[in-house]
């Protein structure tokens, strides 16, 4: 392990030296020396017991306006390179363990389950029933441009080659670093929703297309070696869905036309990838021996496999060309193309059986098996597209319609009245929409979207998610609109419970729905519910939200069991703790017992997609961890909390909620302080994603999306959304003797509470009150500084509380790898923080385009250094 850590340090030094040579060659010795002086001072300042930044600040104040941008770029790019080295090191470390059953590997879990009485058949059957959807979303936390991401991937490949002793890779690596230096970090324009979808497809093409069959092959191998069982070829416990091009909640740029285009692009990309696979497979399968079944299909030819695969290739090519014509506006009928995945799978399985029967099993179990396993995961559409829209947009359709028919105001009706109307229309044979009706543009867009969804192939669609859902009519309204547009299958319509009030009423809403006989029949025995983490945390504070989410899941699990309906929970987690983030496998194991029953949906958001799935070997590792956690949570879940823990948690959640809202909602100085101390207003200038930063442009903090809300606090290292309210709640509990010992017991024995505290610890380790104080000093008025000082004091208090609960002297004492990662980055992030505070001050007083560019680079750099930013 020591040698491996030394390898990481060597990589970081090498990449830093190459960047230094690039900067010196481009900017000259004088500016390079200034940058190097800042680096050395930042490092020296962090080496003292209390960070001392006076010399660093003095050096930064001596920079001219022309020096600020290149210095910001230098530190930003170093942090990006350090991230690449660290990700490569994670793969390197994992590869060292490939043939060993590590504590968190699947083979170890299989052995543990066997010891607990689960048979090999129990475990294999669990995989056959397992349905995990990883839902890729385009939330605006990925600050890096796609063109730079590609270069970063190429640097990773160079590091791999250097590990293998390929000295020629050094020249290519130096060349790539020069390319990166001479490329703008910041986009000039926001990406469109279609751009975001293409970025998601690129992650699949460049990494997951390779990773998935490798993951399934490893799963099959470990099942066989440990249990003597095999994973069926048509079984993929994990599949992928996407919100890119389907999530229109508060994003006016996602239109019906965009959704239609993304659905087609997804099919085109899948056909293209399969075409490449089939071409390579045809080159491999030159054998002449074949079984009778294959001979009967292709006749007496010399190369029967190539003949059959030639037919497959022709049909794939026709599929790809048909989709291309659709994208170009040619709406011709489909003819002789692949529509269902079974059509593509059938000839490949025929080849597989023939090879096996003719004694060529080793050949069958190579490239051919990989393609078959890809079909099991990706189907013909690569991902299943989810649709998301706010409940009020659907209600608006029926409001205009009821007014047109002279029925009064739909929104003014009681919930019972709305349900009766919707159920009557669902069972009516006449059209709902009159021919002479002219709806508003907003309503027409909702109708157009439902028409696109209704006309799409069922295998291209995931769920229709309704945000801000709170009543059964919210769900019935969507089903009626889809039915009216002619949908031919029962699409999953999924209420999303986001705020604390919504979470508390989730059980009653689903109960009311399942008591409607028509609706229960529609579900076909499967109810999906989405739990929102981002907005509930922003609404109630992290502690109260986490407890509200846990209780909602418990209640829904029991309710669906009582109704005889299988429940799938869809977890809308983000990359940060303030949005339900953290290691997925830890979070899955912390769910209420019974809530993970073979099925789970989970959002993978923003930059976390690249961090977890951007490299094939890392993707394999994360897919294994997720699958293992779902298997364990399904077969052997941790017991539920003891009653005393519930009482204590309820008490802490109430205290946390009250104290969080006392600051965020009730303190009149809070919003002015937030806007003064953080770059919240300036973040809108950073062209991160296709979605506006606010749901309403005239709103306050309540209208701000959860992502920029957290992004802003992360930029100044206060990390407020992750801990505010938890500090006073934990303090009150720990100061009470009996409660204090109970809280420690909860941490030791309750996975939910342990996960909550561990995630909080990780975020607190990235906080820095000295940095936050400097932002206050440069940007905040004297009267608002009182609040800032109070918040920093509270932050220090909760650090001490976490150490008390974990019985340690300092944060991350038990996780030296993350501790070292943060410590290594700090000296490179510090100059960016001080520059950002200065640039914010200048930009607010005398705006200057040169300084604005530098300001955006500091945001990108701090984001790179902090990793999970939003």
Residues with active-site annotation: 139, 538
Three-point CA angle 571, 657, 651, nearest 5°? 95
What lies within 8 Å, CB to CB, of 451 at 6+ separation is 256, 485, 486
Which sign does the torsion angle of CA 546, 550, 553, 555 carry?
negative
Cα 316 from chain centroid (whole Å): 31
Query: CB of 754 within 8 A of CB of 590?
Result: yes
- Give the residue among 289, 290, 308 at the shortest CA–CA distance from 298: 308
If one counts every other C-beta atom within 10 angstroms of the C-beta of residue 668, the result is 8
If one counts every other C-beta atom within 10 angstroms of the C-beta of residue 662, the result is 14
3-state secondary structure of 717: coil
Task: Give the span between the Cα atoms of 264 and 772, in whole angstroms.
Answer: 47
132 strand-pairing partners: 238, 600
Cα 25 from chain centroid (whole Å): 39
Query: CB of 544 within 8 A of CB of 575?
Result: no
Query: CB of 155 within 8 A of CB of 12?
Result: no
Alpha helices in 97-145 (DSSP H): 106-115, 120-129
Cα 841 from chain centroid (whole Å): 33
Cα 325 from chain centroid (whole Å): 32
531 strand-pairing partners: 497, 571
Q: Retrieve residue 128's tokens.
A: 């056959």
Q: What phi and psi, each to the nearest 5 degrees, are found at residue 515?
A: -80, -10
3-state secondary structure of 464: strand
Residue 285 DSSP symbol: -
CB-based contacts of 510-516 (< 8 A; 24+ apart in sequence) = 510/556, 510/559, 510/560, 511/559, 511/563, 512/471, 512/472, 513/472, 513/475, 514/559, 514/560, 514/563, 514/565, 516/419, 516/423, 516/472, 516/476
């Amino acid at each position: 392990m020591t040698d491996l850590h030394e390898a990481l340090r060597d990589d970081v030094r090498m990449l830093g030296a190459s960047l230094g040579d690039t900067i010196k060659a481009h900017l000259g010795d004088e500016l390079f020396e200034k940058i190097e002086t800042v680096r050395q001072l930042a490092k020296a300042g962090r080496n003292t017991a209390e960070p001392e930044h006076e010399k660093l600040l003095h050096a930064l104040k001596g920079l001219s306006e022309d020096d600020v941008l290149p210095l910001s770029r230098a530190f930003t790019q170093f942090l990006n390179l350090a991230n690449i080295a660290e990700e490569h090191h994670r793969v390197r470390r994992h590869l060292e363990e490939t043939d060993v059953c590590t504590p968190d590997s699947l083979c170890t879990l299989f052995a543990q389950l066997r010891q607990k009485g689960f048979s090999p058949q129990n475990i294999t059957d669990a995989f056959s029933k397992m349905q995990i959807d990883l839902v890729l979303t385009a939330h605006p936390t990925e600050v890096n441009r796609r063109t730079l991401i590609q270069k970063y991937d190429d640097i990773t490949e160079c590091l791999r080659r250097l590990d293998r002793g390929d000295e020629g890779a050094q020249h290519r690596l130096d060349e790539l670093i020069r390319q990166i230096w001479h490329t703008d970090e910041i986009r000039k324009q926001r990406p469109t929703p279609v751009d975001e979808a293409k970025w998601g497809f690129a992650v699949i093409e460049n990494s997951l297309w390779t990773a998935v069959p490798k993951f399934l092959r490893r799963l099959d191998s470990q099942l066989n070696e440990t249990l003597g069982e095999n994973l069926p070829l048509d079984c993929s416990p994990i599949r992928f869905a996407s919100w890119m091009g389907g999530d229109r909640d508060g994003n006016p740029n996602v239109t019906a036309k965009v959704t239609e285009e993304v659905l087609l692009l997804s099919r085109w990309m899948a056909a293209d990838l399969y075409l490449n696979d089939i071409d390579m497979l045809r080159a491999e399968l030159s054998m002449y021996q074949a079984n009778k079944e294959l001979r009967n299909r292709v006749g007496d030819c010399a190369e029967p496999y190539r003949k059959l695969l030639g037919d497959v290739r022709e049909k794939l090519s026709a599929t790809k060309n048909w989709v291309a014509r659709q994208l170009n506006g040619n709406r011709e009928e489909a003819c002789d193309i692949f529509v269902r995945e079974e059509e593509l799978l059938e000839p490949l399985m025929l080849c597989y059986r023939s090879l096996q029967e003719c004694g060529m099993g080793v050949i069958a179990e190579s490239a051919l098996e990989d393609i078959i396993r890809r079909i099991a995961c990706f189907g013909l559409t690569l991902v299943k597209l989810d649709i998301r829209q706010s409940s009020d947009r659907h209600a608006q359709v029926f409001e205009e319609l009821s007014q047109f028919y002279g029925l009064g105001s739909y929104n003014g009706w009681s919930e019972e009245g709305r349900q009766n109307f919707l159920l009557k229309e669902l069972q009516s044979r006449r059209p709902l929409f009159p021919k002479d009706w002219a709806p508003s543009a907003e309503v027409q867009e909702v109708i157009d979207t439902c028409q696109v969804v209704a006309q799409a192939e069922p295998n291209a669609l995931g769920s229709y998610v309704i945000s801000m859902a709170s009543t059964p009519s919210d769900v019935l309204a969507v089903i009626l609109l889809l039915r009216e547009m002619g949908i031919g299958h029962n699409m999953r319509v999924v209420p999303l419970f986001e705020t604390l009030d919504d979470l508390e009423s989730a059980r009653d809403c689903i109960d009311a729905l399942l008591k409607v006989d028509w609706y229960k029949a529609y579900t076909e025995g499967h109810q999906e519910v989405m739990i929102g983490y981002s907005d509930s945390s922003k609404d109630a504070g992290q502690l109260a939200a986490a407890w509200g989410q846990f209780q909602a899941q418990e209640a829904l699990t029991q309710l669906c069991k009582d109704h005889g309906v299988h429940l799938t929970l869809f977890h809308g987690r983000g990359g940060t703790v303030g949005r339900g983030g953290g290691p997925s496998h830890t979070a899955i194991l912390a769910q209420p017992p019974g809530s993970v029953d073979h099925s789970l949906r989970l959002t993978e958001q923003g930059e976390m997609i690249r961090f977890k799935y951007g490299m094939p070997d890392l993707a394999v590792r994360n897919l294994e961890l997720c699958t293992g956690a779902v298997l364990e949570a399904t077969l052997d879940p941790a017991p539920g909390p003891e009653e005393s823990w519930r009482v204590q948690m309820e008490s802490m959640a109430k205290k946390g909620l009250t104290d969080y809202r006392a600051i965020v909602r009730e303190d009149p100085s809070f919003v002015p302080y937030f806007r003064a101390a953080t770059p919240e207003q300036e973040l809108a200038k950073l062209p991160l994603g296709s979605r506006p930063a606010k749901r309403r442009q005239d709103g306050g903090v309540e209208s701000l999306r959860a992502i920029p809300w957290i992004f802003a606090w992360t930029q100044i290292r206060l990390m407020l959304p992750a801990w505010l309210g938890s500090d006073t709640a934990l303090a009150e509990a720990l100061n009470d003797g009996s409660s204090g010992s109970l809280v420690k017991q909860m941490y030791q024995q309750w996975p939910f509470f342990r996960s909550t505290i561990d995630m909080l610890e990780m975020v607190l380790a990235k906080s820095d009150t000295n940095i936050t104080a400097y932002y206050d000093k440069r940007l905040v008025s004297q009267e608002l500084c009182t609040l800032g000082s109070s918040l920093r004091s509270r932050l220090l208090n909760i650090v001490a509380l976490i150490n008390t609960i974990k019985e340690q002297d300092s944060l991350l004492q038990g996780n030296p790898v993350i501790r070292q990662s943060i410590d290594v980055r700090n000296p490179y992030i510090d100059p960016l923080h001080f520059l950002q505070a200065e640039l914010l001050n200048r930009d607010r007083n005398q705006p200057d385009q040169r300084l604005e560019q530098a300001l955006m680079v500091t945001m990108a750099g701090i984001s790179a250094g902090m990793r999970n930013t939003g």
